[in-house]
Amino acid sequence: MKTITEYLQSGLSATEMVKQALARAKQVADYNSFLSLTEERALKRAAQIDSGEISGKLAGVPFVVKDNMLAFGAPTTAASVMLKDFHAPLQATAVEKLEAEGAICIGKSNLDAFAHGGSTENSAYGVTKNAHDTKRVAGGSSGGSAVITALDVVPFALGTDTGGSIRQPASFNGVVGIKPTYGTVSRYGVVAMASSTDTIGCFTHTAADADVVMGIMAGRDANDMTTLPNFWNEKSNSVKKSLQIGLIKETMGDGIDTEVQAAVYEYAERLKGAGHTVREVSMPTISYSLGMYYVIVPAEISSNLARYDGVRYGYRSQNATSLEELYGQSRDQGFEMENKRRIMIGSFVLSSGFFDAYYQQAQKARALLCSEFDELFASYDLLLSPVSPTPAFAIGQKTNDPIQMYKADIMTVPASLAGLPAVSVPAGVSSTGLPVGAQLIGPQKSDRLLLRLAAQLEKGA
């Protein structure tokens, strides 16, 4: 069983579905994709569904939540020492909405601590292995959820995407991953990283399943004033017979693995075969987007992570004799190196003397990037690019070189900075058997169009 429909039509009881998923989760423990299983709570909820106490569109369907989203039944660690024993007093809105439709969370997945990273190697609880080659990274930061979906433990898993954290692991593991329009899903109950680009999305085997899951999670939430009114039910997004699609030239040049390029060109051919037009387009500012991202996001991280002070919740150092030492030591011991690196970069770009040259300049550059997207969307329905410059890289290959690790995000950060929806779809397989994804990017609120187009191509596959 892979898809939500297959689960719903399996004839299995909720208890049987949950037990099967839990057994599979234990079977694939070597991948280190789970940080915890919420077995007791999951079985209790399954019994409530089987007795008719809870019902809904996803009654009994098991799913997994990235461990930077608050959920009951296990701690929410964000894969950090800081939140090692943090038992959430509430659940994320996204989780609540899925539970209200009868879906059952069976566990929490591994990530780069606080979602800072692109490989799930920065977890305080060990590396997650790629579903197709255990010597390679899962991608990240939502690596655990991607691997769990690819290994058929559950039909869907939740992730967060701030700069590519759903799309890149989806590409590395050969599943569908969607980062929705900024504001589609409430961020309430999600460990904040960069508030202006944080989004909640999911991993699935099919675009149709992603449409179902996102439709349930989408909508206004009084607890997150940046949420958009639910646009998932608007009818304007049906696929036109012939779409105009722009292939972003700058993402297909030097430094991009030739097998990745080949897979994206092949996907472009398939789009043409389905009656759409694909033309090369240029986005000169896109080459600056990684620079913008690694100014703006660390700046927001340094502010958002200021709340972890060892006082109200989270890890507290035992050796501190003053309040200042308590802050400094708790934060040094509770954060991973990459967390500290990003907090320090954030402090740098926001500090007096550098604020205008880095932070303000990055936000102006972001305005230019957004204008370029707007101009292209005046003539094109959507854009196409690779997801990542390479297929999954070897574990350990980039851990000592932050810049090389950051460059793995080069294709995914532009849509994040502009708040655009983007979907990673399986497009091909490398000569060594590794999945390669293609990325579809659309104007804000075109999420369903992207998924419907992806679904159209799946049928043709």
Partner 1 sequence: MTKITREDVLHLAKLSSLELTDDEVTAMQDELTEITDYIAMLGGLTTEGVEPKYQVSGLENIYREDEPQTSSVSREDLLALSYATSDDQVKVPKVL
Residue 394 β-bridge partners? 136
State yes or no: residue 171 binds partner 1 (CB under 8 A). no
For partner 1 (CB under 8 A), the number of binding residues is 68
Site string for partner 1, 355-394 (x = CB under 8 A): --xx-xxxxxxxxx-x------------------------
424 part of the active site: no
**Helix pair 447-460, 258-273: axis angle to 10 deg:** 90
With CB under 8 A as the contact rule, the residue among 341, 355, 399, 456 that binds partner 1 is 341
Closest contact distance (angstroms) between CB of 410 and partner 1 is 12
Closest contact distance (angstroms) between CB of 401 and partner 1 is 9
Site string for partner 1, 284-303 (x = CB under 8 A): -x--x--xx-xx------x-
With CB under 8 A as the contact rule, the residue among 143, 155, 169, 310 that binds partner 1 is 310
Q: What is the rounded CA–CA span in Å between residue 328 and residue 334? A: 10
Closest contact distance (angstroms) between CB of 324 and partner 1 is 8
Residue number with CB closer to partner 1 (60 or 346): 346
Catalytic residue among 165, 171, 302, 385: 165
Stretch touching partner 1 by CB under 8 A, among 157-165, 221-229, 236-244, 431-439: 221-229
Residue number with CB closer to partner 1 (78 or 418): 418
SS3 string, the chain, reads CCCHHHHHCCCCCHHHHHHHHHHHHHHCHHHCCEEEECHHHHHHHHHHHHCCCCCCCCCCCEEEEECCECCCCCCCCCCCCCCCCCCCCCCCHHHHHHHHCCCEEEEEECCCHHHCCCCCCCCCCCCCECCCCCCEECCCCCHHHHHHHHCCCCCEEEEEECCCCCHHHHHHHCCEEEECCCCCECCCCECCCCCCCCEEEEEECCHHHHHHHHHHHECCECCECCCCCCCCCCCCCCCCCCCEEEEEHHHCCCCCCHHHHHHHHHHHHHHHHCCCEEEEECCHHHHHHHHHHHHHHHHHHHHHHHHCCCCCCCCCCCCCCCHHHHHHHHHHHHCCHHHHHHHHHHHHHHCCCCHHHHHHHHHHHHHHHHHHHHHHHHHCCEEEEECCCCCCCECCCCCCCHHHHHHCCCCCHHHHHHCCCEEEEEEEECCCCCEEEEEEECCCCCHHHHHHHHHHHHHHC
Catalytic residue among 66, 108, 179, 445: 66
165 part of the active site: yes
Task: Dig out the tokens for 393 from the structure.
Answer: 């890289």
Closest contact distance (angstroms) between CB of 344 and partner 1 is 5
State yes or no: residue 270 binds partner 1 (CB under 8 A). no
Residue number with CB closer to partner 1 (241 or 312): 312
Task: Name which of residues 428 to 447 contact partner 1 (CB under 8 A).
Answer: 444
Amino acid at 359: Y
Q: What is the DSSP string of 118-135?
A: SSS-S-TT-PPBPSS-TT
Closest contact distance (angstroms) between CB of 125 and partner 1 is 20
Residue number with CB closer to partner 1 (198 or 209): 198
With CB under 8 A as the contact rule, the residue among 335, 377, 380, 393 that binds partner 1 is 335
Stretch touching partner 1 by CB under 8 A, among 97-105, 275-283, 304-312, 433-441: 304-312
Residue number with CB closer to partner 1 (196 or 244): 196
84 part of the active site: no
Task: Name which of residues 71 to 110 contact partner 1 (CB under 8 A).
Answer: 86-87, 89-90
Closest contact distance (angstroms) between CB of 404 and partner 1 is 10
Write out the residues near partner 1 by the rule CB under 8 A: 86-87, 89-90, 182-183, 196, 222, 225-226, 228, 285, 288, 291-292, 294-295, 302, 306, 309-313, 316, 320-329, 331-332, 335, 337, 340-341, 343-349, 351, 357-358, 360-368, 370, 402-403, 406, 417-419, 444
Catalytic residues: 66, 141, 165
